[in-house]
A = this chain, B = another copy of it.
Amino acid sequence: MKVQPRTLSGFMELLPGQQVLMETFLAALRETYGLYGFTPLDTPIIESSEVLLAKGGGETEKQIYRFTKGDSDLSLRFDLTVPLAKYVALHYNDLAFPFRRYQIGKVYRGERAQRGRFREFYQADIDVIGDGKLDIVNDAEIPAIIYRTFSTLGLKNFQIRVNNRKILNGFYAILGLTDKAGDVMRTVDKLEKIGPEKVKGILTEDFGVSGGDADAVLSFIGIKGTNAQVLEALEAYRGRNELFDTGLDELGTVVKYLAAFGVPEDNFAVDLTIARGLDYYTGTVYETLMVDHPEIGSICSGGRYDNLAEYYTDKVLPGVGISIGVTRLFYVLQEQKMLNENANTAPADVLVIPMTEDLAPAIALATRLRDAGVRTQLYTEQKKFKAKMSYADKLAVPFAAFLGEDEVKEGVVSCKDMVSGEQTKLGFEETLARIQTALEARRRGTVIQER
């Protein structure tokens, strides 16, 4: 009796070629995050439920993988933020603040299964945590990190959209709508979908906002233009609410240093419609859109929060961070055929095929290639030559190297470029140089290729 092998639905399991692209993707994230002075962390996937659910409640709790083992009530982490909060509270005395960490790891949410939704998925987070205070320049640096990350991956046509919750909350306070701010923002969020008239209808009828205030909200949200123009338009509201003014100053600082941080204007926009949920973020908020694929939604979001670990400690730990939902983004890029089709996804760069009884010369060749950093596979199965070449083709190995009695005697290697078909018979060093040149050229392509 055999058991039918299967992988659970909602769990991504890639074929080898795609997995290589995923690894390249993750390596680019680690590299870029590292360039900004973030240190890698790794926390357990299982935590005590008491710790993980300290904040409690809501939609998330239903989705959590929670179970008992012996006497322990355990849960799988559903994001990387709660484990960070625990980590910082637990190891507070061993950390230097601002504490900058990245974490790339799997998280678990038992959502209803549907296409493109995953129950196990990678998040790639960075956060800067301050002790008591955290300078606003950290918020200004985040767009630079987002920009370099996606540029490194090969994405071009994307836009980082930034807003500040203090501006929104301050504005609603000016109108005396603070109590209704949540409802109003949720409604305004539907602007693109249902249009301004329906938004006004809901605001006035469902939430009792006066017609004048509803117009004021729509006109505020409708502020558009270059970053300088938006900031200038916002200046008109200055002086009426302290929180608003602080938010405007913060947003001004974020915009001011963009050029020094190397972020082109094209890839950045102040956007007053961005709110990012209602209770967690308190200042700067970020979303990132693929301009040609707005339907995908934000591919990198985050913001500033006042207090990371309030459920664990009395220390006030403000922070700013962003998160990339890697698995979903990778899935979407696959669907959109935006992953580099010419990337070298072979498990090896060279397949060494011995043509002699004694395998020692072929093995020694493989060893020398590996010593030189070339990923080499030795093919020693007893098969016909044609089968060996078809194996090389199936793996999409860039080069095949042959070593027969003649080659051994002459001290040369026969080496076939599997893409061009060109075959050479050269000494080891020349063969190595040829292989390395070709590999270097192929490495230049990025994971993502936009048309």
Which residues on the B side are within 8 Å of A46 (C-beta)?
Answer: 8, 11, 65, 108, 119-120
Whether A5 pairs with B89 at a CB distance below 8 angstroms is yes
Is A367 interfacial (CB 8 A cutoff)?
Answer: yes
User: How big is chain A's contact interface, by range?
Assistant: 35 or more
Whether B40 pairs with A120 at a CB distance below 8 angstroms is no
Is A336 interfacial (CB 8 A cutoff)?
Answer: no
Whether A96 pairs with B394 at a CB distance below 8 angstroms is yes
Given A2-B312, A8-B44, A16-B95, A137–B260 Cβ distance below 8 Å?
Answer: no
Is A294 interfacial (CB 8 A cutoff)?
Answer: no
Which residue of chain B has the shortest Cβ distance to A256 in the bound complex? B360
Given A360-B257, A391-B96, A377–B7 Cβ distance below 8 Å?
Answer: no
| Cβ contact of A137, chosen from B37, B98, B141, B359, cutoff 8 A | B359
Is A86 interfacial (CB 8 A cutoff)?
Answer: yes
The CA-CA distance from A395 to B98 in the complex, in Å, is 10
Whether B47 pairs with A2 at a CB distance below 8 angstroms is no
Is A143 interfacial (CB 8 A cutoff)?
Answer: no
Whether B260 pairs with A48 at a CB distance below 8 angstroms is no
Which residues on the B side are within 8 Å of A141 (C-beta)?
Answer: 363, 378
Given A262-B371, A312-B2, A138–B45 Cβ distance below 8 Å?
Answer: no
Q: Which residues between 93 and 145 of chain A lie within 8 Å of chain B, taking CB atoms?
A: 94-96, 98, 100-101, 106, 108, 110, 119-120, 130, 133-135, 137-138, 141, 144
Is A325 interfacial (CB 8 A cutoff)?
Answer: no
Tell me, rounded to whole Å, the shortest Cβ–Cβ distance linking A145 to chain B. 10
Whether A134 pairs with B42 at a CB distance below 8 angstroms is no
Which residues on the B side are within 8 Å of A14 (C-beta)?
Answer: 42
| Cβ contact of A260, chosen from B43, B134, B367, B382, cutoff 8 A | B367
Which residue of chain B has the shortest Cβ distance to A98 in the bound complex? B381
Which residues on the B side are within 8 Å of A54 (C-beta)?
Answer: 3
Which residues on the B side are within 8 Å of A67 (C-beta)?
Answer: 65, 67-68
Is A13 interfacial (CB 8 A cutoff)?
Answer: yes
Is A293 interfacial (CB 8 A cutoff)?
Answer: no
Residues of A within 8 A of B (CB): 2-8, 11-16, 19-20, 22-23, 34-48, 50-51, 54, 65, 67-70, 72, 74, 85-87, 89-91, 94-96, 98, 100-101, 106, 108, 110, 119-120, 130, 133-135, 137-138, 141, 144, 148, 257, 259-262, 309, 311-314, 347-348, 351, 359-361, 363-364, 367, 370-371, 373-378, 380-382, 391, 394-395
18 other A-B residue contacts (CB within 8 Å) besides A6-B90, A37-B347, A260-B359: A3-B50, A4-B51, A5-B85, A5-B87, A5-B89, A8-B48, A14-B42, A20-B40, A36-B376, A37-B348, A37-B375, A130-B381, A133-B381, A133-B382, A257-B359, A260-B364, A260-B367, A261-B363
